[in-house]
Amino acid sequence: MAAVQWHSRVRRYVAEKQSCGLEVASVEFGDYHPLKSITVTDSKSRRGARKGSTSSSSSSSSSVAMDPLSCMMDGTDPLSMFAAASASEPHLTLPHSISSGRKEKEDEVAVDFEPWSSKRGEILARFTTTEKLSINLFMGSDKGKAPCPGSSAVSEKVRTRLEELDDLEEGSQRELLNLSQQDYVNRIEELNQSLKEAWASDQKVKALKIVIQCSKLLSDTDVIQFYPSKFVLITDILDTFGRLVYERIWSMCSDPHPLPGTGSDEVNDTAKETCLNWFFKIASIRELIPRLYVEIALLKCNCFLTKCGIQKTLPRLTAMIRGIGDPLVAVYARAYLCRIGMEVAPHLKDSLNQNFFDLLETFRQIHGDSVQNQLVLQRVEIPVYLTLYSPAIHWILQCVSYRAPESLLTEMMERCKNLGNNALLLNSVMWAFRAEFIATRATDFIGMIKDCDEAGFPKHLLFGSLGRSLACADPPEAERLPILNEAWKVITKVRSSQDYINCAEIWVEFTCRHFTKREVNTVLSDIIKHMTPDRAFEEAYPQLQSVIRKILTYFHDFSVLFSMERFLPFMDMFQKDSVRVEVCRSIMEVFINALTLDDDKRSLALLINGFIRMVSFGRDFEQQLSFCVEARATFCNLEPVLVQLIHTVNQLAMETRRVMRGSHSRKTAAFVRACAAYSFITIPSLTSIFSRLNLYLLSGQVALANQCLSQADAFLKAAVSLLPEVPRSVSIEGKMRSSEGFLLDFINNFLSTLLVVPDHPEAGVLYLVRGLLNMVQDYTWEDNSDAKVQVYVSALPLLAAMSQETYLYCIPKVDSNETLYGGDPKFVAEINKLCETLIGQVLDHLKILGRDESVRRQSSLAFSLFGCLLAHGDLRNNKLNQLAVNLWNLSHKHGYCDTQTSVRTLEFIKHLAQQPNMLHISDMVQRLILQSRT
């Protein structure tokens, strides 16, 4: 097939609208009657297009201005990445944010690995202090200034930089004393900002000095309760430094930049030399802890030197940590090494395991004189001290246990036994490993818990951790009752009511999951016994509500629930009205939803929707949104109600913007974003996939109309990601029907929206269009279906409209691509390439239809593409003009084209040919053949 050269014809939408306007026919008064038909004639006048362009206003005889997206087209092979100009069949590259089904690599962690960022805030909130803190701040020196222009020799630069590093360690700093925790945090944030500023101003040595200065703080345990939070703050700075260095070296590589881990073969000498210089600087740091932390921060940079650089470096850094004397400082250094190791080389499990085994060896130091004297000096009890290890140990074990085999858990358990069943380590092991592994060894863990020393770590916390695993996975059936009895023996002896209910609430689920109402009733009785004295239940409503929810999850029989003699006394502990109402409502929801028939649900939904539409709080929009939130929680199992609520919230967002226009703009924008969040959270709960698709699109359009671009982008990407899940058939009023027609309608509506959606600055040109076409290509369409190429044709008018200097329609205060690109030739060229690929795919499909003797479908599709070329293509291009003629003749070849439509279309083309500058249309008309089937 010869290459197609697409050029969109230039459109003058205002002039076209005027030229297509209807002439007013004069009517005598006596002839007028409101029921008498009025004859309207088409305007004969046509506005001239600008020089060198066509002026066709439409591909049909309609007098209404043509929406560039309204034509049916067939379309695009999602096969085109506009970067791959030389490829014969380019593939449209889908952005990562909306791609699906990407195969995970060995050296990547997936979403099932909880990131460090999710733990950071919890650590900062948990480990606080009222003690006064101190910090050393870098004061700077004249040696750190840039050398004068005359001393630019390489040797001089090296000497100067080494002197600057020496200057840091020779006391160019001062100590700030008596800082509050907030003052300390502020100082650290100032250092982080100073690091970025120094880097931005090309003061690389100063940046390194700041990082070294901060790393030294991690050797200070004077206020030991604050150490975990200090670790979080300092490693934030190290992370920043590591990222800046890596990006600098990466930017020095020759294009195309190599991917991390590709090794030295693809890295040029300049990048390698710069990388080595950084590691030489690190090697000159005299103290162990700053040298260790800074090198860990730059661990990823080893990939620029050799392919196995990281693999060789990890064991060395692991061994270096053994030189740290303080066990608390050492465990956090191991945590940081494991964190960076998981980011850059998670497949190197040996180093992760070795860090944990080394950690076990250092635990004997906890009871040594050095640590004990330090705790006495700071007046810290051993149970409090042990909790300081939890974040680091949890993280190390999370890294070690990630997708680890069950045999590793066996080895961990043996090492814990050899260490005397340290409770802190045992607790971390149960948190880290897969629940299935823990459940199969539940009896062994109970034996180990019994042997633990309770002085440093209470056993009820260990049983709580075990209970969490058993709520997710089942132990062997024969062991379940002994496990419950052993656990409850410990739980019932807990003296603190808060500690008791925290643990009991966890084990309620295990009881409900595996036993009858008899055992659950016994558990409820024990909870009442512990929580009634001194009205302890008043401080434990969240846990008691959780107990109710877990019981309702497993007991759906109303009579069984209320036959538990301790259930109603348990309910009596909810004496706060608001809490009691909430609990009663949750009970009613469970049983009503479980027993209601589908017909009754539909009837109820109609009544509830009618009520929702009547509720109005006037201009109190926040109260209106709160009502919708409560209604969603109450009627979460009535899908028609949820759909109505989403429509209501979208209307609320539009009404808010209209009423509050020009006043309280920030507050209004925040409220509109809250409405978008409501819809984004609610839509995934709907079972109807077309309801989800249409509501994603509607909500995206509402967000666009309110200038909430990031929210609109999220809705539209969610819709694209959902397309592969559309089934080939759907149930309509109890009958299975093909979903193809519904899907095509949705895609055409979606395409019309994309005209006004600006490209994301980080996602590339037309990334949503390309993402949509990728999904269309990968979708499993019906056999003998032309739907895919019909979508490709439908995309052509959109792309033609996008190439115009001024768009047919826009959204006020939203800069679409016409503003962002301003008709840039490169942007137009990318559009043309994509159009050429789309047309090529349609033509290939037409050939297949010809070989399969599906001539009726071939005729329809060819005529559809012809109409698209006539309406949107620049037919002054000879190849495009000839293609249009060929498509017309192909559509009439076998006589399946509708004669009346063909005649009217041909008349329109002849009329168009009479307009100025339409010689190319005149020539084309002579080659169009009308042929009927005989």
pLDDT tens digit sequence for 681-697: 999 999 999 999 999 99
Question: What is the mean pLDDT of the segment spanning 132-141?
Answer: 63
The percentage of the chain sitting over the pLDDT mark of 90, rounded to a whole number, equals: 33
CB 159 within 8 A of CB 253: no
The pLDDT value recorded for residue 148 is 44
Mean pLDDT of the chain: 81
The pLDDT value recorded for residue 664 is 55
CB 700 within 8 A of CB 753: yes
Token pair 């020009």 in the structure block, residue: 662
Q: CA 299 to CA 48: how far, in whole Å?
A: 66
Measured CA angle at 224 (ends 219, 229), to 5 deg: 80
**Residue 359 pLDDT exceeds 50:** yes
Q: CA 280 to CA 810: how far, in whole Å?
A: 57
pLDDT in tens, 4-36: 678 788 887 877 777 766 555 555 545 544 444
Return the SS3 of 230.
helix
pLDDT in tens, 908-927: 888 888 888 888 888 888 88
Tokens, residue 752: 């019309």
Q: In what helix (H) or strand (E) does residue 696 lie, and over which residues does it extend? A: helix 689-705
Question: What is the mean pLDDT of the segment spanning 455-483?
Answer: 89
CB 531 within 8 A of CB 501: yes
Lowest mean pLDDT among 354-368, 523-537, 709-723, 832-846: 354-368
Distances (CA, A) of 897 to 310, 845, 887: 67, 18, 12
Q: How many CB atoms lie within 10 A of CB 244?
A: 19
The pLDDT value recorded for residue 596 is 60
**Residue 499 pLDDT exceeds 80:** yes
As a whole number of angstroms, the longest Cα–Cα distance in the chain is: 115
Residue 738 β-bridge partners: 729
Q: CA 6 to CA 881: how far, in whole Å?
A: 10
Find, among 295, 383, 366, 346, the residue nearest to 109 by Cα.
Answer: 346
Q: How many CB atoms lie within 10 A of CB 791?
A: 28
DSSP code, position 489: H
Determine the straight-line distance between the first and last CA of the chain, rounded to whole angstroms: 30
Find, among 128, 111, 110, 114, the residue nearest to 339 by Cα.
Answer: 114
CB 232 within 8 A of CB 185: no
Q: Quick one: CA dihedral 169, 173, 177, 183, positive or negative?
A: negative
The pLDDT value recorded for residue 428 is 86
Residue 22 β-bridge partners: 42
Residue type, 58: S
Find, among 293, 419, 292, 309, the residue nearest to 356 by Cα.
Answer: 419
- What phi and psi values does residue 873 have, to the nearest 5 degrees? -95, 155
CB 646 within 8 A of CB 683: yes
Q: CA 266 to CA 252: how far, in whole Å?
A: 12
Q: CA 100 to CA 94: how far, in whole Å?
A: 9
Question: What is the mean pLDDT of the segment spanning 562-568?
Answer: 89
DSSP code, position 149: T
The pLDDT value recorded for residue 170 is 46
Q: CA 875 to CA 877: how far, in whole Å?
A: 5
CB 80 within 8 A of CB 837: yes
Residues 6+ apart with CB under 8 A from 620: none
**Residue 931 pLDDT exceeds 70:** no
The pLDDT value recorded for residue 305 is 86
CB 653 within 8 A of CB 706: yes
Lowest mean pLDDT among 396-400, 468-472, 505-509, 592-596: 592-596
Tokens, residue 414: 């043996």
Find, among 552, 366, 390, the residue nearest to 462 by Cα.
Answer: 390
Question: What is the mean pLDDT of the segment spanning 308-330?
Answer: 91
pTM higher than 0.75 for the full model?
A: no
- Length of the chain equals 934
Higher per-residue confidence, 736 vs 171: 736
The pLDDT value recorded for residue 24 is 55
Residue 37: how many CA atoms within 13 Å on its side-chain side?
3
DSSP track, 666-677: HHHHHHHHHHHH
Question: What is the mean pLDDT of the segment spanning 48-76?
Answer: 38
What's 817-880 look like in SS3?
A: HHHHHCCCHHHHHHHHHHHHHHHHHHHHHHHHHHHCCCHHHHHHHHHHHHHHHHHHECCCCHHH
Tokens, residue 820: 């962002």
Tell me the pLDDT band of 59, cut-offs 50, 70 and 90: very low
Higher per-residue confidence, 378 vs 13: 378
Find, among 2, 56, 79, 92, the residue nearest to 869 by Cα.
Answer: 56
Residue 159 β-bridge partners: none
- What phi and psi values does residue 137 have, to the nearest 5 degrees? -115, 135
Residues 6+ apart with CB under 8 A from 95: 763, 764, 767, 771
DSSP code, position 724: G
What is the Rg, in whole angstroms, of the alpha carbon atoms belonging to the chain? 36
Question: What is the mean pLDDT of the segment spanning 828-837?
Answer: 90
CB 776 within 8 A of CB 767: no
The pLDDT value recorded for residue 261 is 46
Find, among 395, 389, 285, the residue nearest to 340 by Cα.
Answer: 395
**Residue 801 pLDDT exceeds 60:** yes
The pLDDT value recorded for residue 602 is 78
**Residue 575 pLDDT exceeds 70:** yes
Residues 6+ apart with CB under 8 A from 707: 669, 811, 813, 814
**Residue 439 pLDDT exceeds 90:** yes
Q: CA 122 to CA 124: how far, in whole Å?
A: 6
The pLDDT value recorded for residue 255 is 55
The pLDDT value recorded for residue 573 is 94
The pLDDT value recorded for residue 67 is 40
Residues 6+ apart with CB under 8 A from 249: 271, 274, 275, 278, 301, 304
Token pair 């060819």 in the structure block, residue: 862
Q: CA 77 to CA 93: how far, in whole Å?
A: 11
